[in-house]
A and B are shown apart, each in its own frame.
Chain A
Amino acid sequence: MTEQITQRELEALSAYLDGQLSSKERTNLERLLEERADLRTALDGLSQTRAILRSQPPLRAPRNFILTPEQAGIRTKQPAVTPLFSAMRLASVLASVLFILVAAGDLLTGGRNPASYTQAYRSLPVEAPMEVQEAESQFFAETQADTLSSEPVEAPAAAEEFVQKSVQVTQAVSEDAAILEAPAAPSAYPPPAEVFPESPGLLGTTGLDSPTGEPTQLPTALPTILAQKMEGEQSAPVVTNLASDLRSTWYLWRLMEVILIFLALSSGLFAYLLSRSRSV
């Protein structure tokens, strides 16, 4: 009589074919197989089915299944170009180019700072008239003493000293003070020997006669000094106004550079954000 094969026995037979039974389970099953023909028949059937299935040749894919970027959901590198994006990008480029031009021009001109103009201003002979005035006072005092005395005084020495002081002052003017060009010292202050060949005094007015009785030629040094003093005093306000204008222009260029940098950065950042938001 054939016993009905249970599900558990069926599983044991199937696992027995695949070597998935423990040693104890395998021993028990082999004992049952010897005793029961239905189990042996069932085992044969399962074995043949398994063999048929495993005899099938492996299937080949009919085509390649590699993924495209679209299938993979990969975002494209090129963002969608919109008019706004193009405009922002162009604005960024223009602002950058303008900034480079302004900065280059600034570098080529030396990047003048208002302080440098102030320095040049202070180097001008504006202060020279002050020293000239002091030297002049000293000189007048000395020459007055000379005219009052009967004996000749050492006017040429005092005059020469005065001239030397003036020369030193004028030589202190830098080249940048070309705006107020200092006169050449030697020509403005002729040596006393030329002016006063024989006269002991400087105040050679018409009321004073030289020992020789001939009218003393008025010296040209003092009027020249006085004229320069007046010029310096008139030039002081001109220099101040010019430095102020230069300072304004310098700040204007700096402001323009800052604006261009801000424009370039902001428009570039906006274009970048646009491209990110619209990239697929």
Chain B
Amino acid sequence: MDEAGLIRTAQQGDLDSFNRLVLAYQDVVYAQAYRMMGEPASAQDATQEAFISAFRGLRSYRGGSFKAWLLRIVTNACYDELRRRQRRPTTPLEPLDSDNEEIESPYWLADDSEQPDERLERNELGDAIQHCLEGLPPEFRAVVILVDIQGMDYSEAADVIRKPIGTVKSRLARARARLRDCLQGVWELLPAQFRLVNEDRE
């Protein structure tokens, strides 16, 4: 049975059909949750909650990209959890310096004794990337994950976050700029292929 058929039967209450959709999309959904939350336990909780919400709200699915629909659910679940944590802050997401100005480079998230380059020596590049992602505001983080990690185009990302394409462009540009600044310290340690100018300009 194709995806449309599985969705149709799942909408009629067939749990087996829905679970087949879960198996097809759980990697993508978990990746989104992990990149948003930054740690496996919270990412698993968010993923499970997202699929439960998806099954119960399956009647609200009106067609279009089912992948985008699932990613919207998990992204919103992650937003809710991050806001809940923000109400009980342990570390500010948008810290201010002594002049009450926003700190562009989120080095404050890392241990004071460890810089990104030092971390890269101990950990893989992915950990450094994840560390820099966690320094972004949730709204920026979601867009850069959807476009640059999940491989979506601007219209799909706009469908997920329910915002215009112009908003996707703006948030993506700012997120990339912040990530560039965060990764600046590890630039020299990057593989040679990443030190060269990217040739896939369009």
B190 contacts which chain A residues (CB < 8 A)? 48, 52
Stretch at the interface among A55-63, A89-97, A110-118, A178-186: A55-63
Instruction: Check A14/B176 contact, CB under 8 A, given A48-B195, A52-B183, A67-B18.
Output: yes
Contact A74–B30 (Cβ < 8 Å): no
A7 contacts which chain B residues (CB < 8 A)? 170, 173-174
Instruction: Check A67/B22 contact, CB under 8 A, given A46-B176, A59-B34, A74-B13.
Output: yes
Instruction: Check A56/B23 contact, CB under 8 A, given A10-B174, A17-B198.
Output: no
Contact A62–B44 (Cβ < 8 Å): yes
B15 contacts which chain A residues (CB < 8 A)? 67, 69, 72, 74
Q: Is A45 an interface residue (CB 8 A)?
A: yes
Contact A67–B173 (Cβ < 8 Å): no
Q: Is A157 an interface residue (CB 8 A)?
A: no
Give residues 42-94 of A contacting B (CB, 8 Å). 44-56, 58-67, 69, 71-74
Contact A16–B47 (Cβ < 8 Å): no
6 example contacts (A-B, Cβ-Cβ < 8 A) are as follows A7-B170, A17-B202, A20-B169, A49-B180, A56-B126, A62-B30
Interface size on B, residues (CB 8 A): 51
Contact B55–A67 (Cβ < 8 Å): yes
15 extra interface residue pairs, beta carbon distance < 8 Å, beyond A52-B129, A69-B15: A10-B177, A14-B169, A17-B201, A17-B202, A18-B154, A44-B197, A46-B180, A49-B176, A49-B180, A50-B148, A52-B194, A58-B27, A59-B30, A61-B47, A71-B52
Q: Is A151 an interface residue (CB 8 A)?
A: no
In Å, the complex CA distance between A59 and B47 comes to: 13
Q: Is B149 an interface residue (CB 8 A)?
A: yes
Q: Is B73 an interface residue (CB 8 A)?
A: no
A46 contacts which chain B residues (CB < 8 A)? 173, 176-177, 180
Select from chain B the residue with minimum beta-carbon distance to A55.
B194
Q: Is A13 an interface residue (CB 8 A)?
A: yes
B18 contacts which chain A residues (CB < 8 A)? 67, 72
Contact B173–A14 (Cβ < 8 Å): yes
Return A6 CB to nearest CB of chain B, in Å.
Answer: 11
Interface size on A, residues (CB 8 A): 39
Return B197 CB to nearest CB of chain A, in Å.
Answer: 5
For the complex of A and B, 6 pairs with smallest distance between CB atoms: A19-B202, A47-B198, A14-B173, A53-B148, A59-B31, A66-B19
In Å, the complex CA distance between A44 and B147 comes to: 18
Instruction: Check A65/B30 contact, CB under 8 A, given A49-B176, A49-B180.
Output: yes
Q: Is A15 an interface residue (CB 8 A)?
A: yes
Q: Is A11 an interface residue (CB 8 A)?
A: yes
Select from chain A the residue with minimum beta-carbon distance to B48.
A65
Give residues 123-154 of B contacting A (CB, 8 Å). 125-126, 129, 144, 147-149, 151, 153-154
Q: Is B172 an interface residue (CB 8 A)?
A: yes
Contact A64–B26 (Cβ < 8 Å): yes
A14 contacts which chain B residues (CB < 8 A)? 169, 172-173, 176
Q: Is B51 an interface residue (CB 8 A)?
A: yes
A1-43 vs B, CB cutoff 8 Å, 1 = contact: the mask equals 0000001001101111111100000000000000000000000
Return B16 CB to nearest CB of chain A, in Å.
Answer: 9
The residue from A64, A71, A72 contacting B23, defined by CB atoms under 8 A apart: A64
A63 contacts which chain B residues (CB < 8 A)? 44
Return A65 CB to nearest CB of chain B, in Å.
Answer: 5
In Å, the complex CA distance between A45 and B177 comes to: 8
